[in-house]
Every structure is written in C-alpha cells, then in structure tokens.
Amino acid sequence: MFEYFYNEIFRRTIISFGSLFNDIEIKQEDSSGNVNNQFRVPLAYGPTQKFLARITQQPELNKSVSLSLPRMSFEFIGLTYDPSRKVTQTQKFKKALTSDKTSIQTAYMPVPYNMEFELAIMTKLNDDMLQIIEQILPYFQPAYTMSVNLVESIGEKRDIPVTLESISMNDDYEGDFSTRRALVYTLRFSAKTYLFGPVSSANSDIVKKVSIGYVAGSTGAGIPQRDLTYAVEPRAIKNYTGTVLTTLEQDIEVGDVLFKVADPSTITENTYIELDGEELYVLDVLTDSIKVKRGQDKTTPTKHVKGEAIKSITNADDALIQDGDDFGFSVSY
C-alpha cells in the first residue's frame, strides 16, 4: 500500500514562513533623537525557552555576546486536518515537464492540512518590541499569502494563506521587580498548506499501444507462413497544450471544407487540428487557405466565426489525454 516518497512540503512551508520575518530592523535613539544603533533583528528556529535559558548565562544584555536581545525565534508546533478544503480523493491532475512536453507527471489531489507556528519576539526595551510588532501586524488582516513551491518535481506552486491567530505578552523578571530579564511577545499563526502523495508517470494510466498478431499458418505445400500484426495507439482528438497555429479569416458554415486562414504556413498537410471543439483533418494547404475533412472522430461539424483560433493536435497532446476522455486511434499493419 505504502511507498517511499518525500516532497519536502513541511520543510518548504517552514522555511517560507520563517523568511517572512527575515528583514525586520529596529533603530535605537538617544534622548535627542539621534540614531545610535540600527540593525536587523536576528531570527532563528527553535523553542522560546531555549533562548530564554541562554539569556540567563549573560546578565548584562548590552554586551556583545553570542546571544543578546532583541531576538526572534519561530517553531512549528502543531498540525491539524482541514476538512473545509477537502476535494475529491480520486481526482488527479497532470502536468507536462517544461523540458519535455511528452513526459507527463501525475498525482492525486492534495490533502489540506493546517500547520501551526509560534513566533517569539524577545527584547529588553519596550520601544524595541513596539518597533518589531508594528512592522509585522499590518500585513496580517488577519491573513498574509505566501507563494510556496510545494512539489518541485512537477513545479506545483501554491498560495498558502498564513493567518495570525493570537498574540500574548509576558514580562519575564529575575531578582527584584525593577530588573527585567526579557520582554516576550508570542504570536501564533496558522498556515493552510497541502500535502501531496507520490508523483508518478502518467503513462501508466492510459494504454499507449495495443498490438494483435495473427498467424495464418502454412499449407504444407511450400507456401510461406503469412503473419499479420494489427496495432492501435490512442490519439488525442482535441488540443491540450494550448498551442494556436493561426486564426480564421472568414466565417465558416457547417458544410464548408475550404477555410481561409491568416497564416497557412503554420499548418501541415495530413495532420489533425481543432477548431472550437471540432476535430478536422488537413487534406491540403493552399496559398491562403486549407482544405479539410470535417467532424473527425465523431466530433460535430459546427459554424465558426472569423478570428477563431485554430489549434494543433500533436504528439504532445497525445501524451496529455485525460483518464475517461474519448480519443481516436492511429492504426498500422
């Protein structure tokens, strides 16, 4: 039932979440309003208590040490299934690889999960905290959308809403009440991500070729044995890639077989094309028009209007035939 796969979706989502808070800066001014210090607030992955424990090892927080305030940390703390975003379990989608349009990858629709995060902000000065908070909160109303490349093998990129769920504040003291160890704000977020299963080749979903061999046998009187092989391959009867060859230069009636087109040089004889759901076979390419056979593979001949797109049907479309679709056949003997 199960097989090994690893799409790194959790890892990618965690990294994307952390990158939202990479560029937060604060300024520290003196009583005259002069900027004494301006720096980016450090961000690390890990639990808040670990960083608070490290702070106690250096009571003088203004010195240059391995850990000083202000500082931020974030952590992935929970995971829940989201039934409100559920889709049909058996539905699949397919994608052609950019490098090879005939190489198709397929996967079942993803499962929706909510990832819970905590962002801890630790400062010694209240003004530092207010500067950091004010650079974060306006972007969450209450959600901010980040784009994540969830499955690199098929180039599946999705927008993941990150919702600010709650904010809590805590003054952490040690010794008397005038000595503050750290001012800590904790922000809880929920990211609506998707989990994909294994990605496989779409070639396994549709039979690509069937061959039947007939053996006539021998008469026993020196007449050679006669063998016959009949082979059929599924062929697309509509355009999947979106490739437009040219456009019509005139309105077409149901009985017309000569189509005037804008650029006939883009069309090849003895090929199939699609025109608004009707499949046609190109018999001849003329100076400014093409001669066709209408309504191929049981598609219905219809009227067409000037400017309508003429789309190609090639091997790239054959590779993108959807499960359950009708299709034609190429035959060889």
Domain boundary among 157, 184, 201: 201
pLDDT of residue 199: 77
- pTM for the complete prediction? 0.55
Residues 13 and 160 sit within 8 Å (Cβ to Cβ): yes
Q: How far apart are CA 317 and CA 315, in angstroms?
A: 5
State whether 88 and 235 are in the same domain.
no
Residues 87 and 160 in one domain: yes
Q: Residue 4 falls within a domain, yes or no?
A: no
Domain, as residue range, for 234: 210-332
Specify if 3 maps to a domain.
no
Residue 290's CB is within 10 A of a number of other CB atoms, namely: 23
Same domain, 179 and 217: no
User: Is the same domain home to 194 and 224?
Assistant: no
Residues 45 and 193 in one domain: yes
Domain boundary among 201, 229, 256: 201
pLDDT at 228 over 80: no
Distance CA 66, CA 62 (A): 12
| pLDDT range class, residue 31, cuts 50, 70, 90 | confident
Give the pLDDT band (50/70/90) at residue 242. confident
Give the pLDDT band (50/70/90) at residue 153: confident
180 within a domain of the structure (yes/no): yes
The owner of tokens 């209408």 is 294
294, 277 contact by CB (below 8 A): no
* 271 and 254 co-located in one domain: yes
> Cis ω on the peptide bond leading into residue 224 (within 30° of 0)?
no
Q: Are residues 229 and 196 in the same domain?
A: no
pLDDT in tens, 247-276: 999 999 999 999 999 999 999 999 999 999
- Residue 206 pLDDT > 60, yes or no? no
Residue 92 zone, left/alpha/beta (φ > 0; ψ -120 to 50; rest): beta
**Do 19 and 139 fall within a single domain?**
yes
- Per residue in 47-56, pLDDT tens? 776 666 655 5
Rounded average pLDDT over 96-101: 55
Residues 155 and 272 in one domain: no
pLDDT band at residue 214, thresholds of 50, 70 and 90? Answer: low
| Sequence-separated contacts (24+) of 264-272 with Cβ below 8 Å | 264/288, 264/289, 264/290, 267/310, 271/312, 271/313, 271/314, 272/235, 272/237, 272/296, 272/313
pLDDT at 160 over 60: yes
pLDDT value at position 66?
A: 43
The pLDDT of residue 99: 55
Q: Using alpha carbons, select from 332, 326, 256, 248 the residue that is nearest to residue 292.
A: 256
Please tell me the least confidently modeled range out of 111-115, 215-219, 250-254: 215-219
179 and 30, same structural domain? yes
Residue 247: CB atoms within 10 A of its CB come to 13
Q: What is the mean pLDDT of the chain?
A: 80
**pLDDT attached to residue 65:** 44
Domain end, chosen from 201, 218, 250, is at 201
CATH number of the domain where residue 169 is located: 3.30.2000.40
Give the per-residue pLDDT at 289.
93
Counting residues of the chain whose pLDDT is more than 90, the rounded percentage is 42
**Of 223 and 187, the one with more pLDDT:** 187
219, HSE (Cβ side, Cα atoms, 13 Å) = 5
> Which residue carries 């203004």 as its tokens?
62
Most confidently predicted of 86-90, 103-107, 265-269: 265-269
**Band of the pLDDT at 161, cuts 50, 70, 90?**
very high
Residue 1 lies in a domain: no
Same domain, 123 and 34: yes
Residue 2 in any domain: the answer is no
What total number of domains does the chain contain? 2
HEC letters along the chain: CCCCCCCCHHHHHHHHHHHCCCCCEEEEECCCCCEEEEEECCEEECCHHHHHHHHCCCCCCCCCCCCCCCEEEEEEEEEEECHHHCCCCCCEEEEECCCCCCCEEEEECCEEEEEEEEEEEEECCHHHHHHHHHHHHHHCCCEEEEEEEEEHHHCEEEEEEEEEEEEEEEEEECCCCCCEEEEEEEEEEEEEEEECCCCEEHHHCCCCCEEEEEECCCCCCCCCCCEEEEEEEEECCCCCCCCEEEEECCCECCCCCEEEECCHHHCCCCCEEEECCEEEEEEEECCCEEEEECCHHHCCCCCECCCCEEEEECHHHHCCCCCCCCCEEEEEC
Which range, of 71-85, 210-224, 270-284, averages the lowest pLDDT?
Answer: 210-224
Question: In terms of domains, do 44 and 156 share one?
Answer: yes
pLDDT digits (tens, 9 = 90+) for 179-200: 556 788 999 999 999 998 887 7
Q: Which residue has the higher pLDDT, 12 or 330?
A: 12
Q: Is the pLDDT of residue 140 over 60?
A: yes
**Is 301 among the domain residues?**
yes
Cα 246 to Cα 93: distance, rounded to the nearest angstrom? 28
